[in-house]
Amino acid sequence: MIDRARELALKVLYDIDTKGAYSHIALDSTLKRARSYPGGFNINERDVGFISELVYGTVSWRLTIDEIIKKYTKIKIKKISPWILNILRMSIYQILFLTKVPKSAAVNEGVNLAKRYGHKASSNFVNAVLRKVKMKDYEEFFAINDEVERIAKTTSMPVWLVEELLKQNPAETVEKICQVSHQKPKLQVRVNRLKTNGELLEKELQKQGVQTQKAHMDDFLVLEGAKNIENLDGFRQGMFTVQDEAGGLIPKILHPMPKEKVLDACSSPGGKTTYMAELMHNQGEIKAWDLHEHRVELVKQVAKRLGITIIDAEVKDATVYDGAYVGYFDKILLDVPCLGFGVLKRKPDIKWKKTQQDKEEIQKIQEAILENCSAYLKDGGEIVYSTCSILKEENEQVIQHFLEKHPEFDIQKIQRKDYDENLFWDKFLDKNGFLQVFQNEETDGFFMAKMKKKKAER
């Protein structure tokens, strides 16, 4: 008898591995199909939690797990059937990292899956490998002398990314960043100040069995025990939206005011765009651009649910110059495309999809967006440039290159008053006035820089 939860997790891992699917998209799609399939998989919320754990955990620890597989077979990884390889990965993840799962169950269920998705020799192979896997094999990686190799293998991080981080940070910091990327992210939500406040929302959520905690910012809450967020009355009524407070910090630092004209040049899925509208009391004008129609629709949908009317969302390429907007905006938010290594807790497959060559290409796009959109700012206006990356090439270097070409812009040093006097963010401020939030136990990772355009001399 095949365990249904493990089989669904295997299908997701197979799609990620062979079709290049993103983990969160593949997982959502598989769960929707399973729930709607007549007479098919009967899964409950506990199953969903286990499936999600298997998918994200296996993807996140893939490098370490593959190193362990190499110890017990002479067959090269790329020669192993994708079905069998992902059965091995998923089973080893359970053996090494899920203490509540009996090791014997992980082995037996792996063998059962191999019988269905392989043949007799495959199941024998899976059985032989899994029965040899012991925790001491993982611990052996800590004795590796080469620093890059040791960090890569003990934290399951690409070697090139470890090397890049070590260029910019001490080894202890790099290890911490890599280790934290495996932690389960907290579920944080932003209170829609247009419809309610934190105290009222907490009471409403508690009525529905959801426990809450205060976050570091006034408009944010941490939820515990929340299932199917979209089905909660408060969500449907637009009283809150899901957003990590590090992402919410970016609009806060831009500080858009009522009646101002604001541009969000890379707006989808709309979390930062709608927070700016709330900070503006839904008064003024926000242009929200994105490259693709389906992503623009996401912005429109979230704005409608939250009761926001000042957002004008449209398909537009922020790298293409439009003379109609020169000097038009009071404030501009540039949350530019990036490699995304600050959100590995939520999207662990990013580290296997992105390469060193991607870093160079994305930096060109970032610089083009900043160069282009800076022309749309009024004299005396302000820009916040942000990424969910932790690499200097996408952050400080982009800003430095821009300032060298544009003496009419000055850095506005981010200060405590920009984020509600909250001490939590102080440790992320650097001497240049930038805010580099490395992913930590509390939040995702982000970079922020604020610049002001000087008023023209008369």
Catalytic residue IDs: 388
Residues 55 and 32: their CA atoms lie apart, in Å, by 15
Transcribe 25-94 into DSSP letters.
HHHHHHHHHHHHSTTS----HHHHHHHHHHHHHHHHTHHHHHHHHHHT-SS-GGGS-HHHHHHHHHHHHH
CB atoms within 10 A of CB 244: 27
The H or E element spanning position 147 is: helix 147-155
Q: Which residue from 279, 283, 203, 225 is spatially nearest to 248, judged by alpha carbons?
A: 279
Residues 325 and 310: their CA atoms lie apart, in Å, by 18
Strand 311-315 with 409-411, pairing? unpaired
Q: Is residue 23 packed enough to be buried (19+ CB in 10 Å), middle (13-18) or exposed (0-12)?
A: buried
Residue pair 434/395 in contact by the 8 Å Cβ criterion = yes
Residue pair 241/192 in contact by the 8 Å Cβ criterion = yes
The H or E element spanning position 189 is: strand 187-191
- Name the residue with tokens 């899920």: 98
Token pair belonging to 441? 């136990």
Strand 311-315 with 285-290, pairing? parallel
CB atoms within 10 A of CB 393: 17
Q: Which residues pair with 288 in a beta bridge?
A: 264, 313
Q: What distances in angstroms separate CA 123 from CA 7, 10, 53, 109, 432, one per listed residue?
A: 15, 15, 24, 11, 58
CB atoms within 10 A of CB 161: 24
Structural Rg of the chain based on CA atoms = 24
Q: What distances in angstroms separate CA 319 from CA 275, 376, 454, one per listed residue?
A: 24, 12, 23
Q: What distances in angstroms separate CA 43 from CA 48, 117, 219, 225, 443, one per listed residue?
A: 7, 21, 35, 18, 30
